Amino acid sequence: MTLAFGYVRASTQEEVRQGSNERQKDIIREYAQSRGYELEIFEDKAKSGKNTQRPDFERMLNTLDNEPKVVIVAKIDRFARSLSDLLRMLEYLGQKGVGFVSVNDPGIDTTTPNGRLLLQILGAFAEFERNMINSRTKAGREQAMNRGVRFGRPPLKTRNGSFIDRRKVIELNGKGLSSRAIAKALRCSVTPVLRILRENRLLIG
């Protein structure tokens, strides 16, 4: 009987609890049975597609010497999330003489020329969509910053509520003032002064 590998993955624990992996297994088993494949399933739980350190994914790739005919997934996004990663993995499978089938993505079958072409087209559209989302996120962040919205760690404040001038702290430290002297000069506690000096890897007097 011809051997096939099935791969299933859930990105989060919530997906696991909702039965995502089990549904994927059912889809893969049905497909394998219809083709008369002997099936071995590899499963990752709560592993993002962007993370290449997926234990069972790596184990599957390291077991290709068992000469499976094909790797089967329920959906293409369970296998890879970026076009470059997808093409790299498919090239690796191809070098091993292993095909790739995504059951719920019609035409995704790298054992046929049309399947290989369609797979690259779909991957390109997915990559384009992610790039558009990233571009919109970046543009929104820039617009927010132009409106005065601050990102990252909030500014440190003095006792009267005014913001501490980090450059002033560094300047006074450069003039030889101790952290306590700087705090007194800026009318703030010594704690934020110490933090600023540590962040800038400066000697504290």
Let me know if residue 202 belongs to a domain: yes
> What pLDDT score was predicted for residue 164?
79
For the chain, what is the domain count?
2
pLDDT, averaged across the chain: 81
The domain boundary, picked from 69, 96, 131, lies at 131
Let me know if residue 139 belongs to a domain: no
Pairing of strands 38-44, 3-9: parallel
161 lies in the same domain as 77: no
Which of 78-82, 177-181, 199-203 is predicted least confidently? 199-203
**pLDDT-derived band at 50, boundaries 50, 70, 90:** low
205 lies in the same domain as 121: no
152 pLDDT above the threshold of 70? no
49 lies in the same domain as 100: yes
21 lies in the same domain as 72: yes
120 lies in the same domain as 181: no
Place of tokens 């083709």: 35
As a dihedral over the C-alpha atoms of residue 123, residue 26, residue 1, residue 101, rounded to 10 degrees, the angle is -10
Name the nearest CA neighbour of 31 among 4, 63, 67. 4
**pLDDT tens-digit series, residues 96-124:** 989 999 999 877 888 788 877 877 786 67
C-beta atoms surrounding 171 within 10 Å: 12
Residues labelled as active-site residues? 11
8 lies in the same domain as 57: yes
> What pLDDT score was predicted for residue 149?
59
Pairing of strands 70-73, 99-102: parallel
179 pLDDT above the threshold of 50? yes
Instruction: Kindly list the distances between the CA atom of residue 71 and the CA atoms of 47, 99, 177, 192, in Å, as whole numbers in the listed order.
Output: 19, 6, 67, 56
- What's 197's domain CATH number? 1.10.10
Let me know if residue 180 belongs to a domain: yes
**Alpha-carbon span 33 to 2, nearest angstrom:** 11
**Alpha-carbon span 103 to 202, nearest angstrom:** 59
**Alpha-carbon span 102 to 125, nearest angstrom:** 17
124 lies in the same domain as 176: no
Q: 45-56 b/e with 16+ CB inside 10 Å = b?
A: bebebeeeebeb
20 lies in the same domain as 106: yes
Could you tell me the two tokens for 60?
A: 């599957």
| CB hemisphere CA count around 67 (13 angstroms) | 2
Its pTM stands at 0.57
198 lies in which domain range?
153-205
- What's 51's domain CATH number? 3.40.50.1390
**pLDDT tens-digit series, residues 136-145:** 777 777 776 6
182 lies in the same domain as 96: no
85 lies in the same domain as 161: no
16 lies in the same domain as 99: yes
